[in-house]
Amino acid sequence: MRVLLVEDDVSLSSFVEKGLKEAGHQVEVADNGKYALSLCMAEQYDVAIVDRMLPGLDGLSLVKALRAAQVGTPILFLTSLGGVDDRVEGLEAGGDDYLTKPFAFSELLARVTALSRRAVLKSTETKPELAYGDVVLNLFEHTATRQGTPLDLQPKEFRILELFLRHPGRVITRTMLLEHVWDIHFDPQTSVVETHISRLRNKLEKPFGDTLIQTVRGAGYKLDRKDNGEG
């Protein structure tokens, strides 16, 4: 995950940056609002963590400017301004979540992860067709083909394939699949995901003699012709 951290407190910034990097994320740091605005306009981030009290351009104004420019990066306010009115003001400005200082890093990490996941699941793409190589999904007609051959997919299988096609090459976790396909926001402790992935593979891969849906050990699955997982 690529994270932009906008914080002018050097010690706090270093602490958060170190923790996020140890969790495997890429982190870019901005110590003022104007620089953060220029970064967000030029680069793409999965999540931005923004302090409200910033030099140059305060966090609230920064977020308002980003939303006015149609920048949809999920934003977590991280600030000492913890009153109800402050939180409401931050969310109404375009923030997606609000965490007050002092905080537990584990909670910060969980919130950042949740924001990133939510952004994936709420993709706003509206193309009538999604394609990856010779796989084509028509969202309007609700049909799927590979090499021009119709695929007889059940509704859940169609939804799984749609999620993969919207995010080719990106790891899709079991939690994401449960939320996107079944609208389940907890782990039901069943093999429902694995069973449907297996059925989809039998229809999408077996007749064509190759592998498209890769298993990424300990993470989930991804749509990728190159096998970097278990297969």
**Of 49, 15, 11, 7, nearest to 32 (Cα)?**
7
What is the mean predicted confidence (pLDDT) over 46-60?
A: 93
54-68 b/e with 16+ CB inside 10 Å = b?
beebbbbbbbbbbee
**Cα distance between residue 161 and residue 119, in whole Å:** 18
> Is pLDDT above 80 for 51?
yes
What pLDDT, on the 0 to 100 scale, is given for residue 43?
85
What pLDDT, on the 0 to 100 scale, is given for residue 229?
43
186, two tokens: 């907890």
Tokens 């999408």 found at: 204
Tokens 């970064």 found at: 39
What pLDDT, on the 0 to 100 scale, is given for residue 140?
82
The shares of helix, strand and coil residues in the chain, as percent rounded to the nearest 5, are 40, 20, 40
**Of 81, 86, 78, nearest to 20 (Cα)?**
78
What is the mean predicted confidence (pLDDT) over 160-166?
A: 92
- Answer for the pair 28, 39: CB distance below 8 angstroms, yes or no: yes
**Cα distance between residue 102 and residue 61, in whole Å:** 23
Tokens 């402050």 found at: 86
In this prediction the pTM is 0.55
**Cα distance between residue 137 and residue 67, in whole Å:** 31
Domains detected in the chain = 2-121 (3.40.50.2300), 129-223 (1.10.10.10)
**Does the CA dihedral 219-221-223-226 come out positive or negative?**
positive
pLDDT confidence band for 1 (50 / 70 / 90) = confident
φ, ψ at 75 (rounded to 5°): -125, 130
What pLDDT, on the 0 to 100 scale, is given for residue 65?
94
- The chain-wide mean pLDDT, for the chain, equals 88
